[in-house]
Structure formats: structure tokens, C-alpha cells
Amino acid sequence: MNGTRTALITGGSAGLGRASALALAERGWEVIVTGRRVEPLDRVASRGSTITAVPGDVTDPRHRERIAEVIEAQGRLDLLLNNASALGPSPMPALTRYPEDALAQVFTTNVLAPLALIGALIGQIKAADGTVINISSDAAVEAYAGWGGYGAAKAALDHATAVLAVEEPDLAIYAFDPGDMRTAMHQAAFPGEDISDRPEPETVVPALLRLLDTRPPSGRYRASDVAAANTGVSS
């Protein structure tokens, strides 16, 4: 097995995915980033010699097969970071007016695709005694008007993550809630509003890296709690 640690990051062209890819590359990891937008993904790859871009849509089974081939050629997978997410329509509709096809796409991207990717790569993850991190949201546990589609999908992902942790007790499997961030998706959730008060995704990366480094018991973790633990502050 190749001795260099390897990460696969979905939704790696922007936001938390991009910031995480750059941080891991700085640590000497081989990082494979995937996403639908080719040019932004290539720009991320150009930032580090150990970053490889594999453009495509994780909801496409053929693209997941391609990813599996890339990982097989790489020889190991220490981290699968399922970061790709779909918000749904913007402005976000009430559940009673949610278009069925749009809701299906949200669940396909936020639940079915990450589970399928985990299933396709579980052998390599287990061989490396690796880690799976599924990006969650406070909308998975709190009821916000307009967030029903996205929140329900993330709640489903949270529960699936918990079940996977029971089924794979030797692995580290986490649902990670980064909190509000200044991203394009967050802006789409609040069209026309000023979200400049939200923290940049880079500020969340230290908490994610600490989760990866300390490898606590599998479960659901909020970035704010992980950061507080790092400073010895209780919340």
C-alpha cells in the first residue's frame, strides 16, 4: 500500500471542500477533489502538486465508478469527506409547495450519493483504517422555515452515518456540522441578503482537522464544540 495518506473530497471546488483540500495538501496528503464545475476544480488542483481533480457529478453512477478506479490506482484511501451538497430551490420553498423533482434531487445529492460512494470505497477505507466524514448541518436537528428539504436530507444522512458507525465499529465515521459559513450555497439560502458576517470556510478547517487527528468515538460533532475542546473551553 502506498504510504502517503490519501483523501477524497467531494464538492471540492469551493467552500469547505476547497479549504479542506488545500489544508490537507499542505500537510503532505494526496488529495483527490471532485465536483461538477471543471474550471474551479482545476484551480484548486493547481494550488498543490498533490491535488488531483476528477470532475464529475457524484450522483452519476458512472462518475462514482471513475472515482473508484482513481482510488484503486492510488492504492489507499484514508479519508472520505462527503462535502458535496444540494440546497434545493432558491428562494427555499415551504414543504407544502416543494417541487417533488427538486426534493428528490436534494435527497439524491445529500443522502444517496454519499452512501453509494461509501459503499463503493469501503474496502479501501477499511484497508487504511480510515475515516469517513459526512458534512451535516444544524438544519438536520433544528426546524427552520424553508429549510425542510435540505434539513430532512441532512437528518437522513446523520442517521445513516450513525448506523454506518454501528455496522463498521473499527472505523471512524462522523457527521460534522460546520455551522454557518460564507459560501455560495449559504448565499443562495438568503438571496439578496448580506452574509458577510458569516465566517469564512477556512475558519472551520482546524476543527475538522482536529476531528481527524484525535479520532474520537464515531458520532455527530459540531465544529464549535470541537474547537472549544481544542482550547479547553466547555460549552
Catalytic machinery residues: 150
96: how many CB neighbours lie within 10 A of its CB? 6
The string of DSSP letters for 193-204 reads: S--TTSPPGGGT
What is the rounded distance in angstroms from the CA atom of residue 66 to the CA atom of residue 62? Answer: 6
What is the rounded distance in angstroms from the CA atom of residue 45 to the CA atom of residue 50? Answer: 8
C-alpha distances out from residue 14 to 42, 44, 150, 168, 209, Å = 11, 8, 19, 30, 18
C-alpha distances out from residue 137 to 27, 105, 111, 175, 186, Å = 26, 18, 13, 9, 11
Tell me if 133 sits within 8 A of 211, measured CB to CB.
yes
List beta partners, residue 6: 30
Q: At which residue does the C-alpha cell 483540500 appear?
A: 21
